[in-house]
Chains A and B, each alone.
Chain A
Amino acid sequence: GNSVTQMEGPVTLSEEAFLTINCTYTATGYPSLFWYVQYPGEGLQLLLKATKADDKGSNKGFEATYRKETTSFHLEKGSVQVSDSAVYFCALRVQYFGNEKLTFGTGTRLTIIP
């Protein structure tokens, strides 16, 4: 079956620190990979995506590269801000008939302190 394993949280960093949140996956077929973010009190927002091997998704200073050889999609940001405090979810979707569900990781809570 499909599964996503995420770095255990919570993660606490100082402002301007470098961020990495690890994500590895197991999938039957060729998945699309996603990072979703959940800010306090809000719903899930798509942060970035990659649909094939070696693609790099990027948004708001965050990046993640689809690594098929290591089945990974680690999230990185060079300099975090207090406003990045949120829960980050790695997810995958394997397409076969067009209506496939997302499989999520457990989420990583990130707190940035000034």
Chain B
Amino acid sequence: EPEVTQTPSHQVTQMGQEVILRCVPISNHLYFYWYRQILGQKVEFLVSFYNNEISEKSEIFDDQFSVERPDGSNFTLKIRSTKLEDSAMYFCASRDDKVEAFFGQGTRLTVV
């Protein structure tokens, strides 16, 4: 069964460093998303991406964040200068024209 794949599963980084979280969406999907879940809190929307551009972003998705689909298969989330409060589980999701989105297993980001 097709699935969304995220790497790495766990990333530890020092405050101020750049991180790139990687996702391989399901191959025929058209809509891509990043969400995050701070430990013990709700899942929050970060950004949606369609037709090679951002279609919506939340207040959390400030200038420190960027997304890219560099080669038609990968979908990346970059955080330019990480802060302690960026520590969270980051989920990638993708969707075709149907209703439901499929999520990856997540990347746990720990900023120290």
Q: Which residue on chain A has the smallest CB distance to residue B100?
A: A46
Chain B interface size, as a band, is 20 to 34
Q: Are A44 and B91 in contact (CB under 8 A)?
A: yes
Chain A residues lying within 8 Å of B33, measured Cβ to Cβ, are 101-102
A11 to B31, CA, bound (A): 34
How many interface residues does A have (CB within 8 Å)?
24
- B30 CB → nearest A CB, Å: 9
Chain B residues lying within 8 Å of A46, measured Cβ to Cβ, are 100-103
Q: B39-53, CB under 8 A of A: which get 1 and which 0?
A: 001111100101000
Q: Are A102 and B106 in contact (CB under 8 A)?
A: no
| CB < 8 Å neighbour of B42 from A32, A98, A106 | A106
- B29 CB → nearest A CB, Å: 11
Q: B72-112, CB under 8 A of A: which get 1 and which 0?
A: 00000000000000000001010001011111111000000
A89 to B104, CA, bound (A): 16
Total A-B residue contacts, Cβ distance less than 8 Å: 60
A104 to B93, CA, bound (A): 14
A42-B105, A43-B104, A44-B91 known; A102-B55 Cβ under 8 A: no
Residues of chain A having any CB pair with chain B under 8 Å: 32, 34, 36, 42-46, 49, 51, 89, 91, 93, 97-107
Identify 26 residue pairs between A and B in the complex whose beta-carbon atoms are under 8 Å apart, listed by A's number: A42-B105, A43-B104, A43-B105, A44-B91, A44-B106, A46-B100, A46-B101, A49-B100, A51-B99, A89-B43, A91-B43, A93-B99, A93-B101, A98-B31, A98-B50, A98-B97, A99-B50, A99-B55, A100-B48, A100-B56, A102-B33, A102-B93, A102-B101, A104-B35, A104-B42, A107-B43
Residues of chain B having any CB pair with chain A under 8 Å: 6, 31, 33, 35, 41-45, 48, 50, 55-56, 58, 91, 93, 97, 99-106
8 closest residue pairs by CB, A with B: A43-B105, A44-B103, A104-B43, A101-B45, A99-B55, A106-B42, A99-B50, A43-B106
